[in-house]
Structure 1
Amino acid sequence: MKENKRRSRDTRYSSYLHPRWWPTWLGIAVMWLAAWLPLRLQWWLGRRIGDLAYRFAAHRRHITEVNIRLCFPELSEQEQQALVKKSFQANGIGVMELGLAWFRNPTSFIPVTRVHGLEYVDTALAKGRGILLLGGHYSTLDLGGSLVTEYIEADVMQRDHNNPLMNAVMTRARARRYGMVLDSKNLRGLLKQLKNNRVVWYATDQDYGRKGIVFAPFFGVPAGTITATSRIAERSGCAVVPFSHFRREHEPGYDIYFHPPLANFPSGDEMADATQVNRAIENEIRKHPDQYLWMHRRFKTRPSKDDPDLYGKGAG
């Protein structure tokens, strides 16, 4: 276990020359080549990848169907299923965009990128206490992050990729864009960067188990939500600025949104704080609900251990 962990953080390409890594290298080569295709073609190919995943990844399709049924009860069954399929297509495009984020200079996308609310970042930084940039797992995750660094200096917290070689590629790519790439558990490093008045990309919108959480509403459904955001803001005095990034639907291009810092945060009430965090993320998702990572079991951990599994036995 420890050896695997050490390996996952080894970013030297020379460590991955053994033939067992050759299939991964082949996949990386395909990603590199695809990154240089015209953007419209990449989006078309991404949708086809999403169509295939929708058809054959029944396991993930079931999770997505459950999430969308829970979060959008106002939609008809047909509308929910259409959103499921569109979500697979959007995340298929996101797979193609990994190559753009990892292998191309985001400067080339500035002409097709619009930034909204950058003044909120400038105002918060002027106070000298740093910014926790409250992001989410949108399908533009890596490319959106790379585009953000064209407009502000930022650091990022990341969870290591399960494939050590893919993790090396991802980490090296992010290190070229961000000032520092912090391990997701490196709270001390995060606080240090905030103390230095840095902007740190941070996401809370996944199910991390039962430890250190409250069950705050997310689209009206009780969701295990980490309370660390409140503690970080309390200890550092930083501003918590919601932001998001989406691709435009009818023309090649991207939008980045920054919003005013969360008000009265932290409030001293963990449930109220977690509710405010979830609401901020939910508001962004509603802009483009198909561009969110609905394949994740967001409601895996239930308020009571006796509550039924919302995804059914065998969902992963």
Structure 2
Amino acid sequence: MSKDKLTPPEFSLSLLHPKNWGVWLGFGLLALVVNILPYRILLSLGRKLGQIGMRYGAKRVHVATRNIELSFPDKPQQEIQHLVEENFKNTGMALIETGITWFWPTWRFKTLIVDKDTHAMREKSKQGQGVLLCCVHALNLEITARAFGVLGIGGYGVFRPHNNPAYNFIQYWGRTHNGNKLIDRKDVKQMIRVLRDGERLFYLPDHDYGRNKSVFVPFFAIEDACTTTGTSILAYTSKCAIIPGSGFRNSDGKYEIMADKCIEADYPQKDEVAAAAYMNKYVEELILRAPEQWMWLHKRYKTMQDENVEKGIRYK
């Protein structure tokens, strides 16, 4: 069976139906803006959009604030407020960064990328071993994924098709620049297959995905954070290498790409609880490289270990 099992969406005249005009107009405007404005102005524009979003997104402000309070109970309120403000500015930048990723030509995109340390990834690729590249939901994740492709070490991303066919077409096209490919998020067998075949798979184990195939282990200051067991399932069944990866924006506006160490040697993959706790330590390490650029707007601690306790009670 072909590794490219997910059928790429093809362009058809039906995508130009009037019901899709808003999608085409929105992405067309985004493509125009990111290609005509200088990068420094785009940075400022994104941060302004984030500030506007914070002003009108009280519910998300509350979620981000609670996440940070729960994760860092000793952090002063003033520091928490500052981190929330910076996080929203980076959230606004995420829209601009998506446009940059999907619509910039490769020659221009390369000017933003710094290969800080990807030796572990390259070494495993030379050996022909599959790599589970464990990243986090950084707000610049779109840029990070394309950056790995630009650096010649791209791989397969986990893809959730969009309900709108025009949006889905643009999204798929935008995410498969520079050699990256996509796998349906529900196709676990295909994920295992590409890893066994020596390919690289982008995987994000940092969110609360619900009780199914999850365990409750420490994450920052929360002792019972709902954490996926997907990492251990993929690693155990494929015998792949496990490498934490990141691509955070530095103070110069460049994106530092890292995939510098293999962690599978001590990874307790046969013990799903110990494995999830082990992985969370590396997830924390990645987030702390640039905490203002992580997706604090997601309810990371919504699923409770006790099923009788209301889901999301920590955010009341």
Distance (whole Å) between structure 1 residues aligned to residue 305 and residue 146 of structure 2? 36
Change (3 A) 1:276 1:42: same
Question: Could you tell me which residue of structure 1 aligns to residue 233 of structure 2?
Answer: 231
CA distance in 2, matches of 1:124, 1:304: 41
Q: Which residue of 2 aligns with 1:25?
A: 24
Q: Which amino acid aligns with 2:187?
A: N
Counterparts of 1:58 and 1:162, CA distance in 2: 27
SS in 2 for 1:306: coil
Cα distance in 1 for partners of 2:80, 2:12 equals 43
Mean Cα deviation higher: 252-261 or 40-49: 252-261
Structure 2 CA distance for partners of 1:302 and 1:95, relative to 1, 3 Å: same
| Corresponding position of 2:66 | 66
- Residue 3 (structure 1) aligns with: none
1:11 Cα deviation after fit: 4.8
1:252 aligns with: 253
Q: How does 1:224-303 map to 2 (within 5 A)?
A: 224-249=226-251, 251-262=252-263, 263-303=265-305
Alignment partners' CA distance in 1, 2:206 and 2:229: 12
5+ long unaligned stretches in structure 2 = 1-7
Q: Alpha-carbon deviation of 1:26?
A: 1.5
2:312 pairs with 1:304? no
Aligned pair 1:165/2:189, yes or no? no
4+ residue stretches of structure 1 with deviation over 6 A? Answer: none
Gaps of 5+ in 1: 1-8
Over 3 Å counting, the alpha-carbon distance change for 1:271 and 1:233 in structure 2 is same
- Work out whether 1:93 is the aligned partner of 2:93: yes
- Which residue identity is paired with 2:23? T
| 1:153 alignment partner AA | G
* Equivalent residue letter for 2:25: L
Q: What is the DSSP-based 3-state SS (H/G/I as helix, E as strand, rest coil) of the residue aligned with 2:13?
A: helix
**Structure-to-structure mapping, 1:208-219, within 5 angstroms:** 208-219=209-220
> Does structure 1 retain, via aligned residues, the 8 Å contact 2:149–2:180?
no
Going from structure 1 to structure 2, the CA distance change for 1:202 and 1:107 (only over 3 Å counts) comes to: farther
Does structure 2 conserve the Cα–Cα contact (< 8 Å) formed by 1:11 and 1:172?
Answer: no
CA RMSD of the aligned region, Å?
1.8
Q: TM-score, normalised by structure 2?
A: 0.91
Tell me by how many angstroms 1:196 deviates.
Answer: 1.6
Task: Assess if the C-alpha contact under 8 Å between 1:120 and 1:260 holds in 2.
Answer: yes
Distance 1:63 1:161, change over 3 A: farther
Q: Partner residue of 2:13? A: 14
SS at match of 2:299: coil
Distance 1:88 1:254, change over 3 A: same
Once residues 296 and 15 of structure 1 are traced to their aligned partners in structure 2, the CA distance between those partners, rounded to angstroms, is: 34
Matches within 5 A, 1:3-152: 10-12=9-11, 14-36=13-35, 37-151=37-151, 152=153
Could you say what secondary structure the match of 1:209 adopts? coil
Deviates more, 1:82-91 or 1:151-160: 151-160
Q: How many correspondences in the alignment? A: 304
